Amino acid sequence: MENPKLISVSLDYLFIAKAIERIGDHATNIAEFTIYIVEGTDVRHTGQDANQQ
């Protein structure tokens, strides 16, 4: 609140972080779909132990 210019910059960083998170989510979805297509195994919503074979 002391420096109003920092609010705008902080919001920009917040939106950038949100966009990077969405990119990661999309990459995860693509990887899961690729595993399904290649191996026929559905790896979505499984525990980490189930992915290690």
Model pLDDT for residues 3-27, shown as the tens digit of each residue: 888 999 999 999 999 999 999 999 9
Asked if the structure places residue 12 within a domain, the reply is yes
Question: Looking at the domain assignment, is residue 52 inside a domain?
Answer: no
Label residue 29 by pLDDT band (50, 70, 90). Answer: very high
Can you give the residue range of the structural domain that contains 3? 1-38
Asked if residue 48 is part of any domain, the answer here is no
**Is 46 a member of any domain?**
no
**How many domains in the chain?**
1
Residue 47 falls within a domain, yes or no? no
CB 44, CB 32: distance < 8 Å: yes
pTM assigned to the model: 0.69
CA distances to 20, 35, 39 from 47, in Å: 24, 16, 18
Is the predicted pLDDT of residue 53 greater than 60, yes or no? no
Task: Kindly state whether residue 30 falls inside one of the protein's structural domains.
Answer: yes
